Each structure stands twice: as C-alpha cells, then as structure tokens.
C-alpha cells in the first residue's frame, strides 16, 4: 500500500458491496450504506479504473466488461465472507447477550452504522491511512459515530494490537468476536500466527475468530481465476502471498487454545451463501470459525 493513500483493496471491497447492493437483481448481501460510504465520485473513479484494467488484461471472459470481471473474480469472496461473518456475529450476540466485536482490517465497512444492537461494542482496526480516510469520509457525510463504536488506527507491523485495543476501552473479561477478513491472502503463516497469539493472550473470557483463507491444498483447483485475482491485486499495489493449509491453521489455533468449530468449503459457500445468484464460489477459498473457551 502506498504510504500516503488509503488501501485500494479496502476501496475495492466497499465498491463491490456498493455495486452489488445498489444494482444486483438477486442480492446475496445488502450493504445499503456502502454506496454512501464510498461516495459517488470515488465509485465512478473506481469503475473507470476497472474499465481501463479490463482493456489492458485478458480476463478470459465471454463478456469482457468491468462488471462481469467484478462478479467473476472479486464479488464471490467479498460478499460471501461478510454475509457469513455477520450471520455468525448476530447468532453469537443472541447466545451471549453482551459482546465485543473486533474487526481487524475494517476498511470501509459500514456495519457500525447498520447495526442497531447496542449489546455489541465495536472495535474497528485498520492502517492509519485507511483509518483516516474513513473518518474523513464519515465527517463529510455528517454521520454520528455511535457511542459503542471505537476506531483504532494501527500499523500491524509496528504496533501492538493488545495495547491499542486496551487503550480504546477493550475489556479482556468480556466475550469477544474477532473478524479477520481478507487478511490471510497477504500474510505468510508466521505473521498470521502472531495475530492469533495476540488474540488469545488478549482475552480471558470466551472468544470467537472468523476468517477466510486460500487453502494451499486446493490452490490448483482454482489456478486460472486465482492467478488473475493475484495479478489484479498486484497492480493495485498489494501482493497476495499467503496460502495456508487447513492442517497448518488447525495447529496455529490449537497452540493458542482455539478449536475450529465450523468451516465452510466451496460447496457449502455456494449452497449457503451464494445460492440464488450467478456468483460462483472459489474452489480454494474456505471460511473458518474457531472458538476459545473461557479461562478458569
């Protein structure tokens, strides 16, 4: 990511949600605030950028249009993972009453403004550039930040996540739901393991972690589409270098006191999250929910 700019992938994620929520006939997920969050000007700039990229790269599609490319390569991951995460989150708060929701790499996510459940304390963490860009956009929109929402500016490579959360009012004694969406694609296993270790050490009570990841054992099953997606992100200045196996993740979670309690493979993602749409799940992208029990 360029040092003076907000993450382009964060903008692309918001653009994808905005486009789908505003124009899709069969909605997988409705982020009705995404278009406002990103703004008409930025929306059009990103659309033009995607259109120009289409003209420079062979996407191997029968209909070579920017929206066709978006739905082929980007939307299936972004829309299904946020739908899965928010479904799990809502179920968890119903089962737990009061929780903390820590969104790592929150980007331009609008959940804090769509959420009406005050039992959820929301902590949004992101790189300072993206963080400031989002806060400036919220100010432009004249949206009031709810009292249960905490924005944390953090460089994960240089700052301690635990210290940053505690300073923002995080309470280790409360149940916590962590979301790590779209992060593992850019991390090697060692860096990912550090994040899970920090999360484990941060909480004394029960905690949940939800994430999406590219499975190294299934990489060849989606070689063509994943190669194009990697080329796209590389051109946006963010290299996708992370691939992990289920066995490696199970070991990382286990060492840190977590147990994988649910997973979604491509077939389940297609049937449970992308049903009634033309979007096709990636064969090598899975979702995981892991749980750590309360310390005694």
Residue 49 has pLDDT above 70, yes or no: yes
- pLDDT of amino acid 226: 83
Banded pLDDT at 3 (limits 50, 70, 90): very low
What residues make up the domain containing 56?
8-292
Of all helices (H) and strands (E), which one includes residue 52? helix 40-56
Per-residue pLDDT tens digits for 264-284: 999 999 999 999 899 999 999
Residue 24 forms part of a structural domain: yes
* pTM beyond 0.85: yes
Residue 282 forms part of a structural domain: yes
- pLDDT of amino acid 221: 67
Q: Percent of the chain scored above 90 by pLDDT?
A: 70
Residue 63 has pLDDT above 50, yes or no: yes
Residue 1 forms part of a structural domain: no
Residue 125 forms part of a structural domain: yes
C-alpha–C-alpha distance, residues 81 and 85, integer Å: 6
**Mean pLDDT to the nearest integer, 121-125:** 98
Residue 1 has pLDDT above 70, yes or no: no
Residue 2 forms part of a structural domain: no
The total number of structural domains in the chain stands at: 1
C-alpha–C-alpha distance, residues 92 and 162, integer Å: 22
Residue 65 has pLDDT above 90, yes or no: no
Residue 3 forms part of a structural domain: no
Residue 116 forms part of a structural domain: yes
**Among the listed residues 10, 6, 23, 5, the one whose alpha carbon sits nearest the alpha carbon of residue 182:** 10
Q: Residue 115's domain is classified under what CATH number? A: 3.40.50.150
Residue 90 forms part of a structural domain: yes
**Mean pLDDT to the nearest integer, 50-65:** 70
SS3 294: coil
Sheet of 176-180, strand order? 149-153, 120-126, 99-104, 176-180, 207-214, 285-292, 258-264
**Mean pLDDT to the nearest integer, 177-199:** 92
Helices (H), 151-212: 161-167, 189-202
C-alpha–C-alpha distance, residues 65 and 82, integer Å: 25
């Amino acid at each position: 990511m360029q040092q003076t700019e907000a993450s382009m992938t964060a903008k692309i994620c918001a653009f994808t949600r905005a486009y789908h929520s505003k124009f899709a006939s069969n909605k997988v997920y409705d982020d009705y605030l995404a278009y406002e969050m990103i703004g008409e000007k930025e929306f059009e700039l990103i659309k033009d950028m995607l259109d120009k990229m289409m003209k420079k790269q062979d996407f191997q599609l029968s209909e070579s249009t920017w929206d066709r490319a978006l739905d082929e390569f980007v939307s299936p991951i972004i829309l299904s993972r946020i739908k899965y995460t928010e479904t799990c989150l809502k179920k968890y708060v119903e089962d737990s009453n009061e929780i903390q929701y820590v969104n790592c790499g929150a980007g331009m996510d609008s959940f804090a403004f769509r959420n009406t459940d005050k039992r959820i304390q929301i902590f949004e963490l992101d790189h300072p550039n993206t963080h400031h860009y989002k806060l400036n956009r919220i100010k432009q929109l004249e949206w009031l930040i709810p009292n249960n929402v905490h924005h944390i500016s953090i460089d994960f490579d240089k700052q301690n996540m635990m210290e940053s959360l505690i300073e923002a009012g995080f309470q280790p004694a409360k149940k916590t739901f962590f979301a790590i969406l779209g992060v593992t694609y850019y991390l090697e296993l060692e860096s990912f393991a550090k994040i899970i270790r920090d999360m484990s050490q941060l909480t004394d009570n029960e905690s949940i972690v939800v994430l999406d990841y590219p499975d190294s054992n299934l990489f060849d099953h989606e070689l063509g589409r994943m190669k194009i997606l990697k080329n796209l992100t590389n051109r946006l200045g963010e290299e996708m270098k992370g691939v992990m196996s289920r066995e490696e993740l199970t070991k990382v979670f286990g060492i840190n006191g977590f147990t994988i309690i649910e997973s979604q493979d491509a077939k389940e993602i297609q049937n449970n999250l992308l049903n009634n749409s033309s979007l096709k799940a990636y064969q090598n992208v899975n979702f995981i929910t892991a749980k750590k029990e309360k310390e005694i």
